[in-house]
Structures are given as structure tokens and as C-alpha cells.
């Protein structure tokens, strides 16, 4: 496990929100772990245990909320693991409603964003393999690979 923690993403959302969440998470120095919504609660619990996930972004739809509730129950019973569940940001929450440019707003407020330095040999994001539960495993992609490929 890297010094940074993985942030699991279990979401049904639009492409813009999904991409921005993954990219924003990476840029903030966190390691996103986008997960297929077709996984079972047992498979998700297995991946959470093996990747040391501590936070999960879940879309607000009932199916994903139910899937996460079942996953958390498995984790509590089998491993005594608790993960924090956060609701996925929706496009309507972040889209520009009044035509203002974010940079103009931030400059007007005197705000400046600071980002952590990227270490090229650190994990940028985590992916997972498909297949049987016994064969499911996570694959860590380094920043060097993300930036060069």
C-alpha cells in the first residue's frame, strides 16, 4: 500500500462528472479506484480489504446505495472494517449556473489553489481486473505511466 490511500468510486453518473472526479482526485494527491458497478457486494468487500480503501464515493441512486450498504455489512461482519461513504458530486452541483468563470471568481476572492507535488513513482490510480472473485485483484498505475502513455 502506498502512503496515499485509495478512494473507491462506485458511481452511475455522467461522463463529465466521472472524469472530473477521477482527475480532481488524482490532482489532489489522492488515489482514485474506479470500480465497475457490476461487481457484487462480496467482490467489492474483497477489493476494499485488499486495497486499504477508507472512503467510498457512491452515487445517490438507490441501486448503488443498496450495493454499498450490503458491502459495508459484509466488511463489518467478516473483517471489522469500516469505510466512510461519501455521496458522489453530481454535475448539477458544480456546473456554472451564472456564466462566471471559476478562475475569475477565485481571483476576485483572493483564493489560490495549491496542489501537492506529483511523485512520478507513486500510484496515480488503481484499476481492477475482471473475472472470478478468487482472481479479482487490483492494479496500481504509476504517475509515470499515466503521463507517458
135: cell is: 482472481
- Calpha distance 129→114 (Å, rounded): 34
Nearest alpha carbon to residue 91 among 7, 16, 12, 24: 16
Asked if 61 and 87 count as a contact pair (C-beta separation under 8 A), the reply is no
23, three cell numbers: 482527475
Written as tens digits, the pLDDT of the chain (149 aa) is 444 456 767 777 778 888 888 888 887 878 888 887 788 999 889 888 887 788 888 888 899 899 999 999 999 999 898 999 988 887 777 666 666 555 555 566 666 667 777 777 777 777 666 655 555 556 666 666 666 65
Amino acid at each position: 500500500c502506498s502512503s496515499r490511500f485509495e478512494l473507491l468510486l462506485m458511481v452511475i453518473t455522467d461522463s463529465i462528472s466521472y472524469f472530473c472526479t477521477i482527475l480532481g482526485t488524482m490532482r489532489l494527491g489522492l488515489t482514485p479506484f474506479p470500480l465497475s458497478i457490476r461487481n457484487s457486494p462480496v467482490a467489492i468487500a474483497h477489493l476494499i480489504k485488499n486495497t486499504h480503501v477508507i472512503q467510498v464515493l457512491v452515487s445517490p441512486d438507490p441501486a448503488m446505495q443498496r450495493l454499498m450498504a450490503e458491502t459495508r455489512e459484509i466488511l463489518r461482519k467478516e473483517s471489522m472494517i469500516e469505510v466512510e461513504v461519501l455521496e458522489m458530486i453530481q454535475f448539477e452541483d458544480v456546473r456554472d449556473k451564472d456564466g462566471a468563470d471559476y478562475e475569475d471568481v477565485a481571483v476576485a476572492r483572493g483564493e489560490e489553489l495549491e496542489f501537492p507535488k506529483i511523485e512520478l513513482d507513486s500510484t496515480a490510480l488503481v484499476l481492477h481486473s475482471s473475472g472470478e472473485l478468487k482472481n479479482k485483484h487490483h492494479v496500481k498505475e504509476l504517475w509515470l505511466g499515466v503521463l507517458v502513455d
